[in-house]
């Protein structure tokens, strides 16, 4: 199975900060990469599909980029509601595999 | 707008079978992938498997021998059965819908905590 890693595992940031989270695949996955946001006690929410396409209804401060093995999720100006854990997911090879998550909390 | 709701026992004994149901409201159950994902307490997300409306299923290899996902279109429900459970199967179980691509999960149910304990 393809292994997904994320860095950092956690970060502290302030409202208004630009935040970048990295996801790396153990082998090339083209752009078959998804980003999910999960708030404590809640179900995950789809943010990005196809590595860079914004899911309908998701604020434009979220963006995704990358192809092959290296991907990034960027929040251009962190808002209070963005403090959460972010997971990447690959669907290029069976089985689909999630990254371990990046927790974003308040500095 | 599609909504999903998980239901089932919150406590299952070791070696027994975990059975959960996800009820779909607000849209047709056709032309979609219906998935189960779980999250052990304090840990990350794990894909369990999906069923397509044609009845095609796909499961995680590590669970394949113990998992069955089925679909009841008349009731607009799909179900998860996981046999021979152990404490390692304790998790919040989520159901989710996908269209176009099996892992484009949206929306998700709220999740149900299932504890495996005697």
Please give the mean pLDDT across all residues of chain B: 96
Task: Give pLDDT tens digits for A26-78.
Answer: 999 999 999 999 999 999 999 999 999 999 999 999 999 999 999 999 999 99
Q: How far is B44 from chain A (nearest CA, A)?
A: 6
Q: Which residue has the tokens 């595999």?
A: A97
Nearest neighbour of A89 by CB, restricted to B61, B103, B109: B103
> What Rg value do the Cα atoms of chain A yield, rounded?
13
Q: pLDDT digits over A10-19, tens only?
A: 999 999 999 9
Q: Count other Cβ atoms within 10 Å, centred on residue B88.
A: 8
- Residue B31 structure tokens: 């032309």
Task: Collect all residues of chain A within an 8 Å Cβ-Cβ radius of residue B101.
Answer: 49, 91
CB B22 within 8 A of CB B5: yes
Q: Give Cβ neighbours of residue A81 (< 8 Å, ≥ 6 apart).
A: none
């Amino acid at each position: 199975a393809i292994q997904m890693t994320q860095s950092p595992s956690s970060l502290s940031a302030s409202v208004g900060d630009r935040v970048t989270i990295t996801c790396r695949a153990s082998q090339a996955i083209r752009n078959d990469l998804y980003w999910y946001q999960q708030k404590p006690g809640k179900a995950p929410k789809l943010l990005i599909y196809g590595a860079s396409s914004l899911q309908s209804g998701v604020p434009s401060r979220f963006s995704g980029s990358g192809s092959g093995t290296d991907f990034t999720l960027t929040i251009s100006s962190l808002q209070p509601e963005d403090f959460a854990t972010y997971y990447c997911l690959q669907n290029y090879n069976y089985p689909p595999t999630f990254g371990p998550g990046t927790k974003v909390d308040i500095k | 707008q599609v909504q999903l709701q998980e239901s089932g026992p919150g406590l299952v004994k070791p070696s027994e079978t975990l059975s959960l149901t996800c009820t779909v409201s607000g849209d047709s159950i056709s032309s979609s992938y219906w998935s189960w994902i779980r999250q052990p307490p304090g840990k990350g997300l794990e894909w369990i498997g999906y069923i397509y409306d044609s009845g095609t299923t796909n499961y995680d290899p590590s669970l394949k021998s113990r998992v069955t996902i089925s679909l009841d279109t008349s009731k607009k429900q799909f179900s998860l059965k996981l046999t021979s459970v152990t404490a390692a199967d304790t998790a919040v179980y989520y159901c989710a819908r996908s269209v176009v691509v099996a892992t484009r999960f949206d929306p998700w149910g709220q999740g149900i905590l299932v504890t495996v304990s005697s």
